[in-house]
Structure 1
Amino acid sequence: MKKVFLSIVLLVGLMLQTKSQTLTPEQLQADFDLFRKALHEVHPQPYLYTSKSTFDSLFTATRARLNQPMSQQGFYTSMTPLIAALHDGHMKWIVSGKDQHYPFFTDQLFPLQLYFTGKKAWISGNYGSTEVPLGAEVLSIDGKPVSDIIEQLLPNITFADGFTMQGKYEELNHFFSGYYATYITASPTYEVIFQDGIVQKTITLPAVTEEMVKTYTEKNKPASQPPFRLTYPSSNTAILTIERFWSGKNEPDYSKFLKETFRQIEEKQIQHLVLDIRNNEGGEEKYGIELYEYLAKQSFHYYDHIKVARKEKISFAAWRPGIYDKLLRKLLVKKTANGYVFNYPKALKTTTSKRNAYKGDLLILVNGNSFSVTTEFSARVHADKRATFIGQETAGGYRTNSSGLFTIVQLPNSKIDLGIPMFGFQMANVPAEIQHGQGIVPDYIVTPAIEDIIKKRDKVMEYTLQLIGSKAAVLPASK
């Protein structure tokens, strides 16, 4: 879903763009009113995590602050808390035509890649040319303690459903420079105090550009591999990696890949199957269901129902899939005891597992970039007690997520694109003990250390293979 959405946003963004000119109070309030109307008419479950009364107070307070001229960046950051209050990781708030992680600054960016856990950060990479010790702990930036910086940035990161946190940390791991520039400051130089072993040092580093950040990231990313692949670390164990739940042109056909994969698994009499869906941010709902057909031990009910905001057309100009208003909305949106729902039988029916479905030991690897369809799939597997989960909590919510189709409205004065998911997918038969707003919490939480990141050591996979090799199948969890 993410790639499709961002492609649409880029097209919309080419229509009208603006520099960071000053916006009048009248312009700001007009964009604010459209923002609020769009959320009300499109979002399927806006009060899932924040009550309507609290939201109304937030809206009132925010609009009251738009009573004086403000820059595009000022408006953007003033509105971010409203997006964050939805606790919906699929919400999009993107300056038209800009990279979503670098909306205002293409230079004067913080020059180090950092790795975050809890309230600490370590140097995991260097976008610039000044030598710095990888693995050193960063204590402060421009005199501000790292713990304070993390506390300031986390509430402005929206890549998380409910009250999950690991997805936010993954955002910092990859895009800290952009968040720091947007929500704290951009500067020609940065003073960094770090701890290298027992020695504390202070260094002043020149800023870098967005191009330098992306060049470094591209150079250091893992070698490209097929998005779906099957490997055999031993004669009785297979590793199935699914990087995304969609397939592009000139790539492996997903359905054919699954068919051949599970034919091989059956033929080789595999006893332990490791399913790696870390960093899989989702895709098409049907792909998750199709995968589980090959893993379920019995028939299963995937979704309970799918919420939508209303049956009527929206009252404002926006982009949305033409087929929805022309056909789907009229035929498939019904009013029920659950409110308005999208009655899509194929996704709501009881599904039978495949004849050759794998029935052996299943271990699933997840992390803070496991999101959307990936978390839906994981929730179904977890609820059915079908697998052992290893890694870190998912960014997606266990009980529900809002995704599917999107409505995109460009605010006319600030030229910021607001992308709103239209469907609220409710998982079926969720265990009562699952907490409101949690993701999939692994049975074994394994957190890579900074040394693992620097050496590109896959600590989670190593732990998993050790777990398989252990006759007792019990190892102390790595924290």
Structure 2
Amino acid sequence: MKKTSILFYFFITFSLHSQYCDVYVNHKNNKGAQHFICPESMKADLAQLYEAITKTHPNPYLYCTKEQLDSAFIRANNMVLTPISIFDYSMVISNFLQNIRDSHTFFNPRDLLVLSGNNYGIVPFYLIKIDSNFYLSKVYKKTLPVGVEVLEVGNLTVDSLFRLTSVLCPKESHTESALNEITSRMMGIVFNVRNIEDKIRMKYVNINGDTLITQLHRVKSNKLLKDEGWQPPKTISYDFFDDVAYLRIFSFETANERRFKKTIDRFFRKVENSYVSSIVIDIRENRGGFILLLEHLLSYINTSGKTFDLTYSYKRSDLDRFETLSKLKKMDFIKKAKRVYPRGMISKEYDFFNSPKGTVSHILYEKQLSNRRDYVYDGKCSLYINGLSMSASVLLAAWFKETNRGKIIGTPCFGSLQGTHGNPATIFLKYSGLPISISTLKLTPKNTQSQNLGDIEIDKTISFKKADLRMVKDPFEKQHSTD
């Protein structure tokens, strides 16, 4: 009921009632807040979405019952009885998907900017919530000093913008702490998706306590993508601070797997040849990626010698990993499977491949962790995480906790000890044209002892404070000397 009330509030506040609506939406050169879609089109898209979820997702009822999801579907249909903007419709969809509590099954509001093309200027900025206030953590062209308290952006108070963003933010398990971090992070995106004004002002409080207003710098989205100063850092880097070896992994997804592995190899070669008292692995803001790259990292710190065991839960569908293989790769898979059948893991995959659509299979993968140098660092090891660590990063945090490999420092990641989902497929809703990601895989650690679906417990909490932002200091750097 609370979610429905929030949606009604935003519809009344932000949607301009219009008699005209589109059956099919043409997003090009149209902002989502300006474009209205007809009720029957929205209902048809909701039906398409629910059918795709039930046919594709390996277990949409892991965190909610079928009855609860059915009720959410009915509520969503009741929200689209009159024409509403495509932006408001995206909130209806997101609110429905949040019931599944799977961050890989969601609508990304950024796609509304992508769909509208490159003709609209945006005001890139990030906010961070500290206690009950919001502070600027990054802004394009450094229009304002980082660390100022922000009160309003455009015609929205930051509290209203946070509530609006919470409707569009994905959920994962019952990780409420991480959800707050991600919601704060997405506020800038949601503002730009909704905004239709040319001039954007930000009201803020400076370091002297004065309340001021300034106009933000706008930039075309295609130009922003080419701005190296704004884009995230490279995938992986490392450094050494006295006797502490520091490895920063921004993502387990890379265009060059070989280069990623070689960087890991070089790091641990230096660790082996240096006097190192401890290693820090920093996966803050790591959105996940390839399991095989995670396994390569684990091979260097797996002091127990045990296999890395994950249960892969698949549902046979038109969108599963085997159906989306190219024709040549599918032929190669079948040929290799037949050659060794019924032995090996590939034979289990082949059985699943030959099963009828709708079949759910649980395949246990037991990975023997190894590297070419046959080296394992057995010293002290710490893991830095925060609420933006998700997907494969959650598996790493769960492994650290279950194996007691070292301290987990920071704030809870976006996932639980029960693992994560993955391999999302994208469908496009017929009438609205919105792209929706749907998980085709669930990965569950075999040795998970706890049934806790909440936060993975942190050994030491570290987060940004106002002073850290204003002095542009990373509070985690102070931790290096104590690791």
Settle same-fold status: TM greater than 0.5: yes
**Bigger Cα displacement from structure 2, 324-333 vs 270-279:** 324-333
- Opposite residue 130 of structure 2, the aligned amino acid is T
Q: Measured at CA, do residues 214 and 453 of structure 1 come closer, stay the same or move farther in structure 2, by a change above 3 Å?
A: farther
Shift, 1:103, TM fit: 6.3
Residues 232 and 238, structure 1, Cα contact 8 Å, conserved in 2: yes
Q: Which residue of 426, 430, 436 corresponds with 2:448?
A: 430
Deviations, residues 264-304 of structure 1 (Å, cap 9, x unaligned): 32333533111122222221112212221211121334334
What displacement does 1:110 show? Answer: 5.5
Q: What residue in structure 2 maps to residue 284 of structure 1?
A: 290
Which residue matches 1:208? 218
Q: Does 1:421 align with 2:439?
A: yes
1:443 corresponds to: 459
Q: Deviations over 1:213-234 (max 9, x none)?
A: 9379743567x55x34443222
For residues 206 and 424 of structure 1, what CA distance do their matches in structure 2 show?
Answer: 42
**Aligned equivalents of 1:40 and 1:307: distance in 2?**
15
Partner of 1:147: 159
| Bigger Cα displacement from structure 2, 285-294 vs 162-171 | 162-171
Rounded to whole Å, the distance in 2 between the matches of 1:284 and 1:456 is: 32
Q: In the superposition, relative to structure 1, how do residues 363 and 156 fare at CA in structure 2: closer, same or farther (>3 Å)?
A: same
- C-alpha displacement at 1:120, in angstroms? 1.3
**Residues 224-373 of structure 1 aligned to structure 2 (within 5 Å):** 227-234=235-242, 236-249=243-256, 253-309=259-315, 311=316, 313=318, 320-322=324-326, 330-332=350-352, 340-343=360-363, 347-349=365-367, 355-373=374-392
User: What displacement does 1:152 show?
Assistant: 3.4
Summarize the Cα distance change of 1:286–1:455 in structure 2 as closer, same or farther, 3 Å threshold.
same
User: Structure 1 pair 441/212, CA: closer, same or farther in 2 (3 Å)?
Assistant: farther
Partner SS, residue 456 of structure 1: coil
Alpha-carbon contact 1:22-1:72 (below 8 Å) kept: yes
Question: How far apart are residue 149 of structure 1 and its match?
Answer: 3.3
- What is aligned with 1:172? 184
**Greater mean alpha carbon deviation, residues 388-397 or residues 419-428:** 388-397
Q: Distance in 1 between matches of 2:310 and 2:253?
A: 23
User: Is the alpha carbon distance of 1:204 and 1:256 closer, same or farther for their aligned partners in structure 2, counting shifts above 3 Å?
Assistant: closer
Superposition deviation, residue 357 in structure 1: 0.9
Letter in 2 for 1:445: T
Tell me the residue number matched to 1:410: 428
The alignment covers a number of residue pairs equal to 433
| 1:144-190 per-position Cα deviation (integer Å, ceiling 9, x unaligned) | 543343233223211645424436524633x423212446x543445
User: What's the offset of the Cα at 1:44?
Assistant: 1.6
Name the structure 2 match of 1:467. 482
* Distance change (3 Å), C-alpha of 1:320 and 1:92: farther
CA displacement, residues 205-259 of structure 1 (integer Å, 9 cap, x when unaligned)? 367345499379743567x55x34443222x33222333224424x863334434
Asked whether the 8 Å contact 1:371–1:396 carries over to 2, the reply is yes
- Shift in CA distance, 142/93, structure 1 to aligned 2, threshold 3 Å: closer
Cα separation, 2, equivalents of 1:188 and 1:292: 49
1:379 alignment counterpart: 398
Q: CA deviation at 1:96?
A: 10
Which residue in the other structure is 2:73 paired with?
Answer: 59
Asked if the contact 2:118–2:222 (Cα under 8 Å) also holds between the matched residues in 1, the reply is: no
Provide the rounded CA distance (Å) in 1 between the counterparts of 2:132 and 2:407.
29
Shift of 1:415: 0.8
2: CA distance, partners of 1:80 / 1:324: 34
Distance 1:26 1:245 in 2: 41
| Preserved CA contact (<8 Å) 1:320 1:406 | no
- Tell me if the contact between 2:205 and 2:212 (Cα under 8 Å) persists in the aligned partners: no
Task: Give unmatched runs, 5+ long, in structure 2.
Answer: 1-24, 335-345
Which letter maps to 1:364? L
Q: Residue type of the partner of 1:150?
A: F
Q: Give me the whole-angstrom Cα distance separating, in 2, the residues matched to 1:365 and 1:355.
A: 25
Aligned residues of 2:247 and 2:280 also touching (Cα < 8 A)? yes
In percent, how many aligned pairs have the same letter? Answer: 17
Q: Give secondary structure in 2 for the equivalent of 1:121.
A: strand
Please, which runs of 5 or more residues in structure 1 have no aligned partner? Answer: 1-15, 469-479
**Matched position secondary structure for 1:305:** strand
Q: 1:109 to 1:116 in 2, by over 3 A?
A: farther
The TM-score normalised by the length of structure 2 is 0.76
**Is the Cα–Cα contact under 8 Å of residues 37 and 84 in structure 2 kept in the other structure?**
yes
Matched to 2:261, the amino acid is S
Distance 1:221 1:24 in 2: 37
- CA distance in structure 1 between the partners assigned to 2:416 and 2:71 by the alignment: 25
Say whether the 8 Å CA contact 1:113–1:127 is kept in structure 2: no
- Partner of 2:476: helix, strand, or coil? helix
Please tell me the residue identity of whatever aligns with 1:149.
L
Partner of 1:398: 417
The partner residue of 1:120 within 115, 119, 133 is 133
Aligned to 1:10: none
Pick aligned residue for 1:196 from 206, 213, 223: 206
Residue 66 (structure 1) shift: 2.6
Deviation for aligned residue 1:330? 4.8
**Using the alignment, how far apart are the partners of 1:461 and 1:443 within structure 2?**
17
CA root-mean-square deviation: 3.8
**TM superposition score normalised by structure 1:** 0.77
Question: What CA distance in whole angstroms lies between the structure 2 residues aligned with 1:456 and 1:213?
Answer: 26
